[in-house]
Amino acid sequence: MKVAVVGYPNVGKSSLVNRLTQSREAVVHERPGITRDRKELQTDWNGRTFTLIDTGGVDTQDEDPLAVSIQDQAREALADAQVALLVVDARAGMRPGDAEIADILRRGNLPIVVAANKIDSPNDLPLAHDFYSLGLGEPLAVSAAQGLGTGDLLDKLVELLPEDDEIGDADEDVVRLALIGRPNVGKSSLVNAFLGRERVIVSDVAGTTRDAIDMKLEVDGRKVVIVDTAGMRRQAKVTESVEYYTTLRSQRAAERADVALVVCDAQDGITAQDLRIAELAMKSGCATALVLNKWDITGGDQDPLGPGGGVGAAELEAERARVNQKLRLRPRVLTASAKTGRNIQRLLTEVMAIADRAQHRIPTAELNRFLAEVIAVRQPPAKQGHRLKMLYISQIGTAPPRFAIQINSRQRVTRDYAYFVENRLRERYGLDGVPVIIDFVERANRSKEERRS
């Protein structure tokens, strides 16, 4: 069950959503217009669980293309909801914008609750009375800042919600996909291309997407939750609290995803900042690939999953070689165009494949045949005349894959040889871009002959 939270810009919708959900997920800032996409947050009250849809401020007189997109998103939220919550600023009093939004709500068929926000003390309660003139029933006095009246508001919302017949998918096999990257590289356009509809606002203004928004789709019958994230900027250039908050949000999204697509602008190539973002994702345990979006603008005609020719092939191979050199996990570099739809389906197929590889468990017998081959190709290192012996390997975890190799002495393991084993493992089992953990475990009970070896 869903409640659409709508209202004029800067009336405190996101602050109220945070208060009702007891979170800080909705971005709050004193500047109007910070919330641009709609964001869904779950809460519960008196045994009922429901979702609040936080939307951008609606100003019907603003003809700016971005403002029009925000209005469209708010209308879509209302179409997806069972109850509408109109938030007004009690301190500012009735404004024409409030009446215009009320007119839009009246034309719908949803039950409506009016929350007169910013009533921070009992002395301010009379300020709510102005909003009776909206003709939407009794306005409820609330304070997002102080929590005043929020219990009564939640009671009213739960009373109006229909019986919840939704079944959660917490236990289902779901692949969580995060799209991360610098501002204005086309993350929102890619999300819309995946979903086949305008779900996220797309704008030429850098940093349009301020919030992380979870969306669901199916790929070949399997469920995927897409986390579309705000753009990341270099820490030194984060001068506004909003941008700093956005950076933290992107990091958080990577930490809770199974797969991360680092979206890059094909016109810029893969920048140093793109590489740092990919490194961040992989350190969080995400299986990761890089995507050169806007490939159509470069004139590229390259198969994203193949080695072969076409316009831009040489440049693409150079980018791949650079990624392999710079990033230890060697993530794949794919190409796509959100604008033309080129390779969008193949991108989703690769996402599912990389998620499966991160979850795959390799039989122990097969792993030990692999270990014997590795030793045959390159002998383990020796220190002071004593050679490292790798005795046995098994997989002890998935997502990310984790392996334990029994050895005779940890002191004889060199970083170079550990990387060699990791890279061979990655090549053999298609673990490009998948974090791999190898524990070199010294066997506890060794014979005197082994100690002398």
Known binding site: residues? 7-14, 54-58, 117-120, 181-188, 228-232, 293-296
Tell me how far apart the 2 most distant CA atoms of the chain are, in Å. 92
* Strands 222-228, 213-219: pairing kind: antiparallel
Strands (DSSP E) along 118-170, which ranges?
140-141
* Strands 2-7, 83-89: pairing kind: parallel
Which of 59, 20, 60, 58 lies closest to 40, judged by CA? 20
Q: Are 53 and 4 in contact (CB under 8 A)?
A: yes
- The pair of structure tokens assigned to 68 is 């029009």
What residue has token string 């929020």?
150
DSSP state of 208: -
The CA-atom distances, in angstroms, between 215 and each of 24, 191, 360 are: 19, 9, 25
Binding-site residues for GTP, in ranges, read: 7-14, 54-58, 117-120, 181-188, 228-232, 293-296
- The pair of structure tokens assigned to 98 is 């409030």
Alpha helices in 2-64 (DSSP H): 13-21
DSSP state of 36: -
What would the DSSP string read from start to end of 232-295? P--GGG--SHHHHHHHHHHHHHHHT-SEEEEEEETTT-S-HHHHHHHHHHHHTT-EEEEEEE-T
What residue has token string 């919550």?
85
The Cα–Cα gap between 313 and 72 comes to 40
